[in-house]
Structures are given as C-alpha cells and as structure tokens.
Amino acid sequence: MLRGLLQPMHLLIILGIVLIIFGPGKLPELGSSIGKTLKSFKKAVVEPEEEETPSPKKVEGK
C-alpha cells in the first residue's frame, strides 16, 4: 500500500509546494526552527532516563 510512496519525483513536488507556501525567504528560518525543535525533543527524551535514578539523600538525625 505504501510501496513507492516517496519517490524522487514525489519529493520534488512536495519541495515545490513548500516553496510556494513559505517562500524562499522563510525556508532558512523554518529549517532552523525545526532543528531547534528536534534538539529540544532529543534533550527531553534523554534527560528523564538520567533522572530516573534518584540520588541518595542524607538523613539528618535529631
């Protein structure tokens, strides 16, 4: 069903539509925002794994 979905010609058509919608001036800004989003997503995925092991707390005696 999805066989041959993203052939080179399809990718060129998608790129053309993106150029029409956003214009060539907005593409660098769009790429930068997508990159920042992916970086923050990766950071959010990695951080919880590190925080799962709680550090031992000191118990103060009375």
pLDDT tens digits in sequence order for the chain, 62 residues long: 567 777 889 989 998 998 898 888 888 888 899 899 999 999 888 876 555 555 566 666 55
State residue 5's pLDDT score: 75
pTM value is 0.48
| Cα separation values, 4 from 11, 12, 16, 23, 56, Å | 11, 14, 19, 28, 54
State residue 35's pLDDT score: 92
State residue 60's pLDDT score: 67
| Cα separation values, 53 from 18, 19, 28, 41, 56, Å | 44, 46, 40, 21, 9
State residue 59's pLDDT score: 65
